């Protein structure tokens, strides 16, 4: 087959790149569902995660029931030889509500985060008087004739070599001299940032079932990812509460167990005190996100309202997310039971009429994405607001 | 890469009665092998789905999970690809195997309509598709290809690739056959009746969906061409689908036979050959059947039985002659139905399996037995049925186009209920594809799990189901 045109050879590489691109598109289209994917939330800092994609199938007319076939080996009629999960190759998920072939895509958490949170930002971020935080970063941004061999710019060196020979009408690469060598050099950049502190408050009371807590955690998971990705330095404060609140380290926050009653005001109070102490409004943009199922002590609700109002005096934004679902079935999206109303706490809080107090209700896993969008949408008039870290001041050039 | 030994094997194969096209061998590295395996025809038009298969093949190959020793293309001359890491003895086995495949391509009746110049035709197709991609953009071309692949198994193999359009509407006069002994009753001997043809579209239920859409859907010429290209390639592959067991059995039978008769093997090579051959005919997973193994065992069994009959004077055909007859005349369905006996099925411990529980797997709440598979029968009829059912109709549900309605909508019918119900999700998506071509509502008459009639409709507003 020597006479086959060159561009028809090695097409597999092109098609596999195309396939990868389609995988990414499929991921992008299904972020809503992927956002609560357990594989990812529990990825625990692993760089690559596998996510099941049900959207990359090549559809065709096919049979629903695929559970029969021919086998071989010993055994009597009636003997069970396999369960669905043990079916071999070709044993597709059968059934009237047919399982779909699942394609497992591998993707880095960072890339996924970028896709998820592309259009989000911390709203109402302001330049504070004192730009307290400075970070240092190194970037290769210049090419010179002298430098460390480890940083040689091979491509440019080759080009220089080629040029030098070409000048002498010898178009070739070879016989390198010192004059050809090019090196990448770096410069040190110091950046001053607006200061932002984010308070993550989570209800850990007994009524927060595993599923509810999972919702809160997946929200916080993405929030933390987002903050780390987009903003180099953000102070994060984790507060867990039942009837009492305490500040906990990040790793404990995500693995915390639950028990006890609920007094949301305790968490607000701790947050408020911490803000006044450590992150005064003059210098810090403070963001407070609280997740609860709203099963608060009724007497506590009015106190919550007062505290929220106080917090708003000190914060750029306060977000309250309520996780409500009727039962497991609606939560996972099957079943169709009537939807629960808002909690008393939520009713009380929604009388706080303040532009920077934002609430969201999460009824099923897919709503997490919506909640992120609600809380972190770029608000009107934000185009000119400072991005954290974009006012770079360069030194050492 | 035709070593002396290859030529000797080729000579031996011919002496033993195999008749094949010229074979051109090419030695390729593993990733090229993965590429050829992914595409089926290495020169065919590009599509992202090959990239998906290729990725998997290549990774499996690199990790040593699967190894493709050889791929051979049905073409004249035939092209055979050998893996560059094959040992010499593996290549000898593969060469003998390839000669037998090529004999099968040339002599089996089901292959007779295939285009023996397909390698070049596929190049032609690929260049055309590339041109469409340049002109209309990858996304649009890919979309039409996605749609075409969704129904490329709905062919009419009896009508073939090249077809005339349906006759246009006209009234024709037909001569009616006179009744027997009509003259005795004084009736006219020649009676004429008038008949209308071409009144309905299609005039008869149409099995070849891609052909119908290419002819009658309101699509652009290049889209038509894309449908035709994929349709033609699907026809090319169909005989390979319907003769998998027999073809592999035949090639395995002959590589064993040829290498046993070949005098040029050293003792250690003979042992290596035995090991390789044993690997080829390994029964495999308990819940799936290795076609090399089943085909090979069945052919050996037939040869033995006919040799016995011949020796007893009950037939004029020897075992070997019988095998050549089978190779020329059978496909998998007829081969299994005609020659698999209860004795052999028992010896191979074959069984038919299915769900252990009559409701089958339930989506959410499972009873203890739902989703469990159990041995259902070892009766030969059941075993044969379980083997041939997935080979019927390209493995696809039998769906025909029955009518273009007056409002322009299209009616399809799922013809047979005994093979199983349609997968709803897939059915919906596929109907959506067809709607994209037809641009008017598309209905599909099918049936539910209790055989109740159900009609799926795909229109601008999406999917609807009615009883």
Helix (H, G, I), strand (E, B), or coil: what is residue A190? strand
Q: Which residues contact A317 (CB under 8 A, 6 or more apart)?
A: A122, A123, A124, A287, A288, A356, A357, A358, A375
E strands, A96-222, are 103-108, 133-144, 183-193, 196-203
Kindly list the residues from chain A whose CB atom is less than 8 angstroms away from the CB atom of residue B150: 58-61
Order the strands of the B462-466 sheet from edge to edge: B399-404, B410-414, B442-447, B453-459, B462-466
Task: Mark which residues 24-53 of B lie under 8 Å from A by CB.
Answer: 24, 26, 31, 34-35, 38-39, 42-43, 46-52
Q: What pLDDT, on a 0 to 100 scale, did the predictor assign at position A110? A: 77
Secondary structure in 3-state letters for A242-280: CCCEEEECHHHHCCCCCCCCCCHHHHHHHHHHHHHHHCC
Kindly list the residues from chain A whose CB atom is less than 8 angstroms away from the CB atom of residue B352: 68-71
User: Residue A31 belongs to what domain range?
Assistant: 1-58+100-111
Interface test with chain B among A10, A11, A332, by most B beta carbons within 10 Å? A11
Size of interface A-B (CB pairs under 8 A): 217
Task: Mark which residues 281-300 of B lie under 8 Å from A by CB.
Answer: 283, 285-289
- Report how many domains make up chain A: 3
Q: How far apart are CA B104 and CA B111, in angstroms?
A: 8
Same domain, residue pair A188 and A198: no
Q: Token pair of B440, please?
A: 């008017």
Bridge-partner residues for A120, per DSSP?
Answer: A377
Position A391 in a domain: no
Q: How far apart are CA A270 and CA A277, in angstroms?
A: 11
Same domain, residue pair A241 and A147: no
Same domain, residue pair A343 and A359: yes
The overall pTM is greater than 0.80? no
Kindly list the residues from chain A whose CB atom is less than 8 angstroms away from the CB atom of residue B31: 12
Instruction: Judge contact between B244 and B291, C-beta under 8 A.
Output: yes
Instruction: Judge contact between B446 and B427, C-beta under 8 A.
Output: yes
Kindly list the residues from chain B whose CB atom is less than 8 angstroms away from the CB atom of residue A4: 43, 123
Same domain, residue pair A184 and A204: no
Q: Assign residue A288 the CATH number of its domain.
A: 3.40.50.410
Interface test with chain B among A25, A58, A61, A74, by most B beta carbons within 10 Å? A61
Type and span of the H or E element at B172: strand B170-176
Between the two ends of chain A, the Cα-to-Cα distance in Å is 58
B429–A contact, CB cutoff 8 A? yes
The per-residue DSSP string of B370-438 comes to TTEEEEEE--HHHHHHHHHGGGGGGGS--EEEEEE-TTS-EEEEE--STT-PBPHHHHHHHHHHHHHHH
pLDDT digits (tens, 9 = 90+) for B283-342: 888 888 999 999 999 999 999 999 999 999 999 999 999 999 999 999 999 999 999 999
- Could you say which of A170, A192, A214 is where a domain stops? A192
Q: Which of B66, B77, B83 is nearest to B102 (CA)?
A: B77
Same domain, residue pair A182 and A204: no
- CA dihedral sign of residues B134, B139, B145, B148: negative
Same domain, residue pair A332 and A223: yes
Same domain, residue pair A104 and A3: yes
Q: How sure is the predictor about A99, in pLDDT bands with cuts at 50, 70 and 90?
A: very low
Q: How far apart are CA A235 and CA A193, in angstroms?
A: 12
Shortest distance, CA B258 to any CA of chain A (angstroms): 28
Position A157 in a domain: yes
Position A66 in a domain: no
Radius of gyration of chain A (CA): 28
Cis before B202 (ω within 30): yes
Q: Which residues contact B258 (CB under 8 A, 6 or more apart)?
A: B9, B12, B13, B16, B96, B99, B100
Instruction: Judge contact between A359 and A319, C-beta under 8 A.
Output: yes
Q: What pLDDT, on a 0 to 100 scale, did the predictor assign at position A101? A: 53
Q: How far apart are CA B118 and CA B237, in angstroms?
A: 10
Shortest distance, CA A22 to any CA of chain B (angstroms): 8
Position A392 in a domain: no
Q: Which of A357, A379, A350, A344 is nearest to A310 (CA)?
A: A357
Which residue from B minimizes the CA distance to A1? B79
Bridge-partner residues for A105, per DSSP?
Answer: A51
Same domain, residue pair A323 and A179: no
Q: What pLDDT, on a 0 to 100 scale, did the predictor assign at position A3? A: 65
Q: How sure is the predictor about A124, in pLDDT bands with cuts at 50, 70 and 90?
A: confident
Same domain, residue pair A165 and A272: no
Q: Measuring CA to CA, how many Å separate A177 from each of A155, A183, B157? A: 15, 14, 69
Same domain, residue pair A174 and A206: no
Kindly list the residues from chain A whose CB atom is less than 8 angstroms away from the CB atom of residue B374: 77-81
Which residue from A minimizes the CA distance to B383? A70
Position A13 in a domain: yes
Position A7 in a domain: yes
Q: Which residues contact A85 (CB under 8 A, 6 or more apart)?
A: none
Instruction: Judge contact between A218 and A368, C-beta under 8 A.
Output: yes
Which residue from B minimizes the CA distance to A80? B374
Burial per residue of A283-312, b for 16 or more beta-carbon CB atoms within 10 angstroms, e otherwise: ebbbbbbbbbbbbbbeebbebbbebbeebb
pLDDT digits (tens, 9 = 90+) for A152-196: 999 999 999 999 999 988 888 888 888 899 999 888 877 666 678
Torsion on CA atoms A303, A304, A306, A308, rounded to nearest 10: 160
Interface test with chain A among B26, B51, B81, by most A beta carbons within 10 Å? B51
The mean pLDDT value of chain A amounts to 76
From B353, B377, B423, residue closest to A64, measured CB to CB: B423
Quote ipTM for the complex: 0.86
Same domain, residue pair A306 and A346: yes
- Could you say which of A192, A219, A239 is where a domain stops? A192
Position A120 in a domain: no
pLDDT over 90 percentage in chain A? 8
B167–A contact, CB cutoff 8 A? no
Same domain, residue pair A212 and A286: yes
Q: Token pair of A283, please?
A: 């210098």
Per-residue pLDDT of chain B (467 residues; tens, 9 = 90+): 458 999 999 999 999 999 999 999 999 988 889 999 999 998 899 999 999 889 888 888 777 777 888 899 999 999 999 998 889 999 999 999 999 999 999 999 999 999 999 999 999 999 999 999 999 999 999 999 999 999 999 999 999 999 998 888 777 777 766 667 766 776 665 667 777 776 788 989 999 999 999 999 999 999 999 999 999 999 999 999 999 999 999 999 999 999 999 998 999 999 999 999 999 999 888 888 999 999 999 999 999 999 999 999 999 999 999 999 999 999 999 999 999 999 999 999 999 998 776 655 544 444 555 667 889 999 999 999 999 999 999 999 999 999 999 899 999 999 876 788 888 888 999 999 999 999 999 999 998 777 788 899 999 988 888 87
Position A76 in a domain: no
- Could you say which of A192, A207, A236 is where a domain stops? A192
């Amino acid at each position: 087959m020597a006479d086959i045109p060159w561009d028809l050879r090695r097409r597999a590489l092109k098609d596999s790149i195309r396939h990868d691109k389609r995988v990414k598109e499929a991921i992008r289209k299904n972020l809503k569902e992927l956002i609560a994917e357990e594989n990812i939330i529990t990825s625990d800092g692993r760089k690559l995660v596998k996510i099941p994609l049900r959207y990359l199938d090549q559809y065709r007319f096919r049979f629903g029931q695929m559970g029969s076939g021919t086998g071989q080996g010993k055994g009597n009629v009636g003997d069970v030889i396999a369960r669905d999960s043990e079916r071999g190759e070709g044993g597709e998920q059968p059934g009237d509500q047919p399982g779909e072939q699942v394609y497992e895509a591998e993707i880095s958490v960072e890339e996924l985060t970028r896709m998820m949170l592309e259009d989000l930002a911390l709203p109402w971020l302001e330049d504070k008087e004192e730009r307290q935080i400075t970070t240092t970063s190194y970037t290769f941004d210049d090419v010179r004739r002298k430098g460390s061999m480890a940083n040689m710019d091979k491509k440019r060196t080759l080009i220089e070599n080629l040029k030098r020979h070409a000048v002498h009408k010898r178009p070739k690469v070879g016989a390198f001299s010192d004059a050809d060598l090019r090196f990448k050099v770096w410069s040190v950049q110091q950046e001053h940032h607006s200061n932002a502190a984010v308070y993550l408050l989570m209800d850990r009371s007994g009524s927060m079932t595993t599923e509810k807590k999972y919702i809160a955690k997946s929200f916080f998971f993405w929030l933390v990812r987002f903050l780390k990705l987009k903003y180099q330095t953000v102070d994060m404060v984790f507060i867990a509460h039942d009837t009492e609140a305490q500040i906990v380290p990040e790793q404990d926050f995500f693995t915390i167990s639950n028990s006890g009653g609920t007094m949301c005001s305790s968490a607000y109070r701790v947050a408020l005190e911490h803000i006044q102490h450590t992150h005064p409004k003059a210098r810090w943009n403070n963001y407070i996100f609280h997740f609860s199922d709203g099963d608060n002590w009724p007497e506590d609700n009015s106190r919550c309202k007062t505290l929220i109002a106080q917090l708003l005096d000190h914060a750029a934004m306060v977000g309250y997310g309520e996780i409500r679902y009727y039962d497991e079935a609606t939560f996972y999206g099957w079943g169709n039971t009537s939807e629960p109303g808002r909690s008393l706490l939520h009713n009380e809080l929604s009388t706080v009429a303040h532009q920077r107090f934002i609430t969201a209700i999460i009824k099923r896993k897919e709503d997490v994405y919506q909640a992120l969008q609600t809380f972190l949408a770029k608000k009107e008039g934000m185009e000119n607001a400072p991005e954290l870290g974009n006012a770079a001041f360069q030194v050492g050039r | 890469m035709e070593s002396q030994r290859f030529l000797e094997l080729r000579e031996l194969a011919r002496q033993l009665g195999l008749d094949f096209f010229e074979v051109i061998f090419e030695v390729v590295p593993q990733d090229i092998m993965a590429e050829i395996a992914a595409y089926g025809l290495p020169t065919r038009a590009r599509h992202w789905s090959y990239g998906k298969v290729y990725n998997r093949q290549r990774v499996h190959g690199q990790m040593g999970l699967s190894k493709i020793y050889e791929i051979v293309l049905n073409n004249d001359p035939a092209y055979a690809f050998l893996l560059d890491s094959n040992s010499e003895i593996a290549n000898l086995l593969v060469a003998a195997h390839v000669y037998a495949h090529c004999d099968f391509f040339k002599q089996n009746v089901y292959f007779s309509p295939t285009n023996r110049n397909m390698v070049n035709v596929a190049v032609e197709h690929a260049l055309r598709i590339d041109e469409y991609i340049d002109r209309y953009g990858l996304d649009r071309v890919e979309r039409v290809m996605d749609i075409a692949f969704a129904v490329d198994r709905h062919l009419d193999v009896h009508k073939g690739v090249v077809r005339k359009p349906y006759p246009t509407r006209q009234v024709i006069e037909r001569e009616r056959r006179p009744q027997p002994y009509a003259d005795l009753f004084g009736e006219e001997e020649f009676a004429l009746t008038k008949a209308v043809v071409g009144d309905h579209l299609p005039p008869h239920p149409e099995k070849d969906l891609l052909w119908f859409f290419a002819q009658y859907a309101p699509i652009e010429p290049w889209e038509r061409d894309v449908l035709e290209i994929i349709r033609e390639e699907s026809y090319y592959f169909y005989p390979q689908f319907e003769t998998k067991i027999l073809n592999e059995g035949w090639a395995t039978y002959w590589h064993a036979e040829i290498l046993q008769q070949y005098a040029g093997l050293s003792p250690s090579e003979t042992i290596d050959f035995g090991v390789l051959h044993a690997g080829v005919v390994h029964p495999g997973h308990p819940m799936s059947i290795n076609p090399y193994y089943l085909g090979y065992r069945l052919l050996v069994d037939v040869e033995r039985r006919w040799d016995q009959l011949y020796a007893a004077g009950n037939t004029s055909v020897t075992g070997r002659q019988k095998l050549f007859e089978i190779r020329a005349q059978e496909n998998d369905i007829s081969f299994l139905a005609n020659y698999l006996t209860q004795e052999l099925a028992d010896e191979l411990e074959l069984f038919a399996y299915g769900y252990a529980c009559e409701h089958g797997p339930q989506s959410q709440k499972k009873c203890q037995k739902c989703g469990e598979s159990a041995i259902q029968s070892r009766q030969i009829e059941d075993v044969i049925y379980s083997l041939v059912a997935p080979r019927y109709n390209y493995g696809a549900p039998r769906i025909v186009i029955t009518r273009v309605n007056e409002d322009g909508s299209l009616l399809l019918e799922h013809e047979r209920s005994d093979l199983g119900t349609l997968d709803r999700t897939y059915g919906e998506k596929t109907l959506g594809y067809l709607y994209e071509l037809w641009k008017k509502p598309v209905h599909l008459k099918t049936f539910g799990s209790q055989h109740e009639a159900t009609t799926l409709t795909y229109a601008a507003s999406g999917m609807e189901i009615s009883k």
